[in-house]
Amino acid sequence: MKTWTRKDLTGLDELTSEEINFLLETARAFKGVGERSLKKVPALRGKTLVNFFVEPSTRTRTSFEVAAMRLSADVVNISATASSLQKGETLKDTALNLQALQADIIVLRHSSPGSARFLSERLDSSIINAGDGAHEHPTQGLLDIFTMREKFGRITGLNVVIVGDILFSRVARSNIFGLVKLGANVTLAGPSTLVPRSFENLGVRVVHRIDEALEGADVVNLLRIQHERQRKEYFPGLGEYTALFGLTKARAARLKPSCLVMHPGPINRGVEIDSDVADGSQSVILEQVTNGIAVRMAVLYLCAGGAGIPA
Ligand code: CP
């Protein structure tokens, strides 16, 4: 039986642990391509990928483009301002036109939760979710988990702490779904307004004191405050947020020496993470970005019908 039969990746919630592990193994095989002098394989030669980003992005859009080019696919980038969404065309009509232009894969970032799933159910092209509102960011979750697995050799039993604006974070949701399926112990920490107890229903621990959360942590993953999705004030001010929940130098000094400091980016230096800690020896923030290429190569390869782990 084939381990991967999906044409789309819309979230980690829908994947089995076997599928996640298969994606991670495929990404491990593709990581080697980035370490060669000729960083290219012919796996997707003749395929066309459209990067359709209706929200801003630096890492994800570039990473998908680099991943597709390393697989020898042709890549077209379009943004909201350069698309006919501006003229009143619906998302579905725009996507159907991209399909009519023979896009094999559409990578979508959109502010509406469920937008990638909506298109995946209506198009034959592969749809890859590059972040849909506060719902999921599956390739970010995968690259975070890939980085942890690469460093520790396992996910089962790892104590992973995710700190910050969980309520509005698609990165947090994808991490939670993936990590819980693979057997990690996940703790969420932040103000009660941004980390409600209802998250415990997802199989995680919720605490509202960061020092309690950081005790025994193997990984601390900091999240930015998602101001663009908040409609009211969830805490008194950034200074108070940093004092209560920021990974300051004093807090970082109490982490286990083996504890990884992670952040999906973009980072707000001096708010959720001290600038020196972001650049310090325990930080793997830029390694996460590099690993994103291999993870996205694996996702594109498998969703486009690639069979098995490439040699
Ligand atoms: N981590 C992440 O999604 O970054 P971008 O918004 O730059 O893509």
**pLDDT per residue as tens digits for the range 220-242:** 999 998 667 666 677 778 889 99
Distance 2 CA to ligand 1 centre (A): 31
Q: Is the CB of 265 under 6 A from ligand 1?
A: yes
Give the pLDDT of residue 229: 65
Element (H, E) at 31: helix 17-31
Q: Comparing 86-90, 197-201, 228-232, 280-284, which segment has the lowest mean pLDDT?
A: 228-232
Q: Is the CB of 159 under 6 A from ligand 1?
A: no
Ligand 1 pocket check: which of 53, 59, 144 to mutate, most ligand atoms within 8 Å of Cβ? 59
- Residue found by looking up tokens 């980690």 in the block: 12
| pLDDT digits 0-9 by tens, 77-102 | 998 887 888 888 999 999 999 999 99
Q: Is 228:187 a contact under the CB 8 Å cutoff?
A: no
**β-strands 105-110, 126-132 pairing:** parallel
Give the closest residue to 104 by CA, choosing from 42, 47, 43.
Answer: 47
Give the pLDDT of residue 1: 52
Q: Is the CB of 190 under 6 A from ligand 1?
A: no
Which atom of ligand 1 sits closest to the CA of residue 109?
8
Residue 223, Ramachandran bin (φ over 0: left; ψ between -120 and 50: alpha; else beta): beta
For residues 47 and 68, give the distance between their C-alpha atoms in angstroms, rounded to a whole number.
9
What mean pLDDT do residues 206-211 have?
Answer: 97
Helix, strand or coil, per DSSP, at residue 23: helix
Q: Is the CB of 60 under 6 A from ligand 1?
A: yes
Nearest CA to ligand 1 atom 6: 57
Q: Is 108:129 a contact under the CB 8 Å cutoff?
A: yes
